[in-house]
Amino acid sequence: MGRAVRCGHRGLHLSDTHTTSHAETIRRLSGLIALAALLVFANCLLNAFVWDDEQFIVKNAFLGSPRFLLKLLTENVVSGAGLVSNLYRPFQSLTHFFDVQLWGSRAWGHHLTTVLLHAAASVAVFRLLARLFAPWPAALAALLFSLHPLQSEAVAYTCGRGDTLAILFLCLGLLAFRARRGLSLACAALSVASKEHGVLFPAFLFLYDRALGRPAPFRRHLPFWLLSAGYIAARLTVLNFKDTLNFYGQPNLLTEHVSVRLYTYLTTLAKGLLLWVWPADLHHERSWPVFTSLAIPQVWLSLLLVAALLGWSLRLRARSRPAAIGLWWFVIATLPTSNLIVLINAVFYDHWFILPGLGLAMAAGQALERAFARGGRVRGAAAAFSVGAVVACAMLTVRANGVWRDPISLYTHILFWEPRSAKIHNNLAMAYNEAGREQEAIALYQRAIALSDAYPQTHHNLANAYLRRGDEDRALEEFGRAVAMDPHFHHSWLQIGAIRLKAGQPAASAEAFARAVHAYPYAAEAYLGLAEAYRAQGKPDAARTVLAWGRAALPDHPALQAP
């Protein structure tokens, strides 16, 4: 009897040692992955604010004071910049708020937060894969995912962190589901509050549960489906800022024909997969044709590829379940940006395929584990190939991060790939203008208008370029075109008001500043300008009233506190 007890104790002791060794390996590999992510993305700290950082952060008045926290959490992401968007990402906005309190306008501090979040997400991805595979195959698959140059499209600029946050909380929620369902539900909520595709959390939970081979009963999944249903209901009602299901302002070929959307979506799947395998042409703004027939070679070839992958997944499900599920994950994760459900005013963005790539990481982990299990030369070849791929990815990513160094670098790179993009011509012109290269900027603005005269921003920016050269008449003409295209474009009303006031036309100036206040009540310049215009008209009481309105809207703004 004693011998049996002693053997039992010894068996438990050996099991504990094995568990401790495995846990220690997981901890060490987690540290290695975090360090690798920090090193590869460290050069992002040198980057300026670029792309949508201006609207999300730099000009977002809601980030400046706790008084606006309620608005920050209940309005669209760029409402604080005086814009209307379909995007609602309150947790991402909250991280930007804390960054502004901590770092102010120092871009490197904001980038540091984004890089740290990516390192945390990289570890979470590894932990997720480590429940499916042995530590080293899981680690290599996680590194291939986390250090891939496609990640630069989310990490190298500050407001791209929505992808990172959504993946971080998705992984944490899946990891917590078995032991702490309440925490898992909270993570699901934070994932969808970071980026809209987090609404698919219950679908990913369903897939991951089956990849583990021991799915929980549906009743344990039900709260997650109810959470997503509640989010969708809110986005269609109280949180419907513009048109949640249709970003287009008018009907077009894509919005009117489901078949066109399906054909076009199929081609994006093939390209998204190619970006993971061969990321040779990454660029953030990507034009993509709309396909109108299944007979077009690009469409039916894409259909054959997708059918082959899904058919392969059915064959794999018995002996390689995680790999099979990973292929389904890749397809399902693209649905929010497919234009099949929500009509987005774009067809393709490279970063849309970051979350789907997590499914490919599952497939890669399965392949590596099978190769490692065979031992010998197969194991050595698999290890050498995967390490080489990780190193190649890291080198490409460091270079891709540098593309985002500043606006001129970024937009020059994109314009190389998209020479007919009016948006990129405008953005590069803005960068030139800020660098004092007015003549080049004016030429690019004019080129942008010639390509597509649909943006009041371009006329506004061209007017500013004329203004810097002292040509107020041409500037007024362009500002007028901007507000004619969008009467709520307050930036141009502010400039019109300032020019009219300088020209000794206080009545016209007051009208322009009043239009600016009405369009965007969080611009201190509008209240200050309107008050000055009233004083110029001999209306001191009206000026004091306007300043009181300004203090009510912006109680912390120092310029409005003066009598």
Domain ranges in the chain are 23-403, 408-560
pLDDT tens for each residue of the chain, 563 residues long? 343 333 333 333 334 445 568 889 999 999 999 999 999 999 999 999 999 999 999 999 999 999 999 999 999 999 999 888 899 999 999 999 999 999 999 999 999 999 999 999 999 999 999 999 999 999 999 999 999 999 999 999 999 999 999 999 999 999 999 999 999 999 999 999 999 999 999 999 999 999 998 888 999 999 999 999 999 999 999 999 888 888 887 888 888 999 999 999 999 999 999 999 999 999 999 999 999 999 999 999 999 999 998 888 888 877 889 999 999 999 999 999 999 999 988 899 999 999 999 999 999 999 999 999 998 899 999 999 999 999 999 999 999 999 999 999 999 999 999 999 999 999 999 999 989 898 999 999 999 999 999 899 999 999 999 998 899 999 999 999 999 999 999 999 999 999 999 999 999 999 999 999 999 998 999 999 999 999 999 999 999 999 999 999 888 788 887 65
Cβ 124 vs Cβ 34: under 8 Å: no
Checking phi first, is residue 108 left (phi over 0); if not, alpha (psi -120 to 50) or beta? Answer: alpha
CA distance 478 to 475: 5
Q: Nearest 5 degrees, angle CA 63-CA 69-CA 70?
A: 140
Cβ 478 vs Cβ 466: under 8 Å: yes
CA distance 263 to 495: 45
CA distance 117 to 257: 40
CA distance 352 to 447: 29
DSSP 85-122: -S---HHHHHHHHHHHHHHTT-HHHHHHHHHHHHHHHH
* Predicted local confidence at residue 12, as pLDDT: 38
Residue 246 backbone phi and psi in degrees, to 5: -150, 110
Can you read off the two tokens belonging to residue 175? 């990891």
* Predicted local confidence at residue 400, as pLDDT: 97
Give residue-wise pLDDT tens across range 440-464.
999 999 999 999 998 999 999 999 9
How far out from the chain centre does Cα 442 lie? 30
Give residue-wise pLDDT tens across range 505-538.
999 999 999 999 999 998 999 999 999 999 999 9
CATH code given to domain 408-560 = 1.25.40.10
CA distance 414 to 285: 7
Coarse DSSP helix, strand, coil percentages of the chain, rounded to the nearest 5 percent: 75, 0, 25
CA distance 77 to 89: 6
Checking phi first, is residue 51 left (phi over 0); if not, alpha (psi -120 to 50) or beta? Answer: left
Average pLDDT, the chain: 92
Structure-derived torsion over alpha carbons of residues 179, 197, 151, 43, reported in degrees to the nearest 10 = -90
Q: Rg of the chain's alpha carbons, rounded to an integer?
A: 27
* Predicted local confidence at residue 555, as pLDDT: 86
Could you say which DSSP state residue 291 is in? P
Structure-derived torsion over alpha carbons of residues 257, 262, 263, 267, reported in degrees to the nearest 10 = 140
